[in-house]
Chain A
Amino acid sequence: MHELKRILSDRRRLFLYLIIPVLCVMLFFLERLNGDLKSGWRYMLDDAAQYRQDAEKYCAMQPEDALAAMEADGYRAGFLQTTNLRTAAEHIRSYPAYLAGVHENAQRMARSSVFGKDENSFTYRNVQKTDADFVAFEGIEVVFGSDRAVETWLGFSTSDLLYLLAIILTVTAFFEDKKNGLCSVVRSCPKGRLQLALSRLAILTGVSLVFTLLINAGVLGSSFALYGGMDGLGRAVQSMEAFKTCTLRVSILAWIFLYLGGKVACGVLLGLIFWFILSFLSNIQLSWLIIIGVLVGEYAAFTRIDGQLRFGVFKYINLFSYVHPMEPLSKYLNMNVCNRPVGVFPLLLWLLLALVSVLTVAVLLISVKRHPLGNRNILGRFVLVWNRFCDCFRRRMHLFGFEGYKQLIFGGSVIFLAVCLYIGGRLSYTGWEYQEQDHVYLQYLSEAAGPIDEQTDAYLEHARNSLAANHEIAGGFENALMRLETEVDSAKQNAAEQGYEPWLTDQVQVLNFLGEKTWPLTRWNAIVALAFVILSVAPLFAVERKTGTERLLRSAAHGRAPVFHAKYAVMTLETAAVWCCVYLREWLAIRRTFGAELMNCPIQNFTALGSFPVVMRFGTFLILLYLLRFTGLWIAAFVTAFFSARVNTWEKAMLLGAAVLLFSAALFYFGQDWAGYCSVLPNIAVTELLVSADRPGGVFVWFAAWLALAAALSAHVYRNWVKRAGQREFLPM
Chain B
Amino acid sequence: MKKGKWGLIIFGLVIFIVGVTFPVWYGAGTSAPAPVLDMDTPVIKSMPNKKCVEDTAFIRAHHMKLLDAWRDEAVRDGHREYTAKDGRRFEKSLTGTCLQCHSNKSAFCDRCHNYVGAKPSCFSCHIVPEEVKK
A binds B: no
- A: which residues have CB within 8 A of B? none
- B: which residues have CB within 8 A of A? none
